[in-house]
Amino acid sequence: MQVQTINAEVRPDTGKQTAGRMRRQGKVPGVIYGKKVGNLPLAVPRKELERVLDREGGSALLKVIIGGQGQAREFTAMVREVQRHPIKGEIIHIDFHQISLDEEIRATVPIVLEGEARGVRNGGILQYGLREVEVEALPADLPETLTIDISDLDVGEHLSVADIKAPRGVKILTEPDAVIATIVSTRAVEAEEDAAPDGETQAAE
């Protein structure tokens, strides 16, 4: 996984007025915490942060460069939590977790389905299960995605977490029997759709 750079500045004040002023200036208030950095309030340029998150997602490996007071400091970190405005969707606060490159960490990695399933070519329908899994690895070994080939998947068959081939140094923590993808027949889907109104009626009664 490539390391992405985020520039930040120390927040001298953690009050609501200061946070609001920073947002109006195009900055996102946040905090970075960990063994070496402690608990340090900071602010990050919104456009820079959104660019990294849009491209790399929430599991990105980051180099946070903190300036603004004396000599700049650098910390390796990952995003722990992102808070967004409930209506506008803008990032309003972010938490970074400072990590060590020689200590294993846990992270969530997206699953990518590759190929066209045989069952789909034969008229079946692909139903998605899990879209991501939890893994444990050294930060440098964390994959950006985990790919699984569904080309041979036929109607009535499914793939589970156990079918993912993890890269060297990566341990998948999600339950191995959790379903990732299933191919169902169109008849089965139509039967479910036909049965739905009856089920809703019974629930209403």
pLDDT for position 191: 58
pLDDT for position 95: 95
pLDDT for position 164: 96
pLDDT for position 69: 54
Q: Is 89 left (phi over 0), alpha (psi -120 to 50) or beta?
A: left
Residue with token string 């993912």: 164
Check if CATH label 2.40.240.10 holds for domain 4-98.
Answer: yes
pLDDT for position 201: 45
CATH topology of domain 105-192: RNA Polymerase Alpha Subunit; Chain A, domain 2 (2.170.120)
C-alpha angle 149/155/160, rounded to 5°? Answer: 45
pLDDT for position 11: 85
pLDDT for position 121: 93
Q: Where in the chain is the domain with CATH 2.170.120.20?
A: 105-192
Q: Where in the chain is the domain with CATH 2.40.240.10?
A: 4-98
Measure the N-to-C terminal CA separation of the chain; round to a whole number of Å.
Answer: 54
Residue 156 to residue 51: CA distance in whole angstroms: 41
Q: How far is CA 192 from the centre of its chain?
A: 32
pLDDT tens per residue across span 126-148: 999 999 999 999 998 999 899 99
Residues of the chain with pLDDT under 70: 1, 68-71, 188-205
